[in-house]
Amino acid sequence: MYKYSFAFLLCVLLLGSSLAQAQNRPEALISSQDIIKAVSQAKGKVVVVNFWASWCPPCRQEIPDLIELRKRIPENKLLLIGVSIDQDPAMFSKFASKAGFNYPVYLAKADVPQAFSLRSIPRTMVYSPKGEMVKAIEGFVTGAELEKMINKLLGS
């Protein structure tokens, strides 16, 4: 039992470390496999993956709500990841450096849009604490709606 607890703790620490590094480097690239791995390693937490772009007005409108959501729900209960599909890394970096993100944001590798069936943005995917996708939201979603969904999944 101790071995498994230690292994789980090590995985959580490594994931947290890599996500923190990415948060400090908003130009970090993420692949579809990286996203899947992050979701699978976050068992016990609700995971929210928000796909956006710097040139997308509804995406920019969602970001302040997501920042507030991150402040209200602790990291031990919620893993929040932002994935930009910007094609210009400079635009992404410029926006990310000014937006005040308090959660990790990444620039999507070329495989991400197809792997997650992105037809429009913003798109927000919500995963249960068991790692199962429970909702894919096409278009704008308010922070209040998202928080209600997260709290329900957490049993709060």
Domains of the chain plus CATH, in order, are: 2-154 (3.40.30.10)
CA distances from 114 to 9, 32, 58, 108, 110 (A): 32, 9, 21, 11, 8
What tokens does 74 get?
Answer: 């602790």
pLDDT at 27: 52
pLDDT digits (tens, 9 = 90+) for 140-154: 999 999 999 999 999
Which pLDDT tens digit goes with each residue over 66-124? 999 999 999 999 999 999 999 999 999 999 999 999 999 999 999 999 999 999 999 99
Rg (CA), the chain: 15
Give 30's contacts (C-beta < 8 A, 6+ positions apart): 22, 83, 106, 107, 108, 109, 112
pLDDT digits (tens, 9 = 90+) for 9-18: 334 334 444 4
State the Cα angle at 57 between 86 and 143, rounded to 5°: 100
Task: Report whether 24 contacts 36 (CB < 8 A).
Answer: no
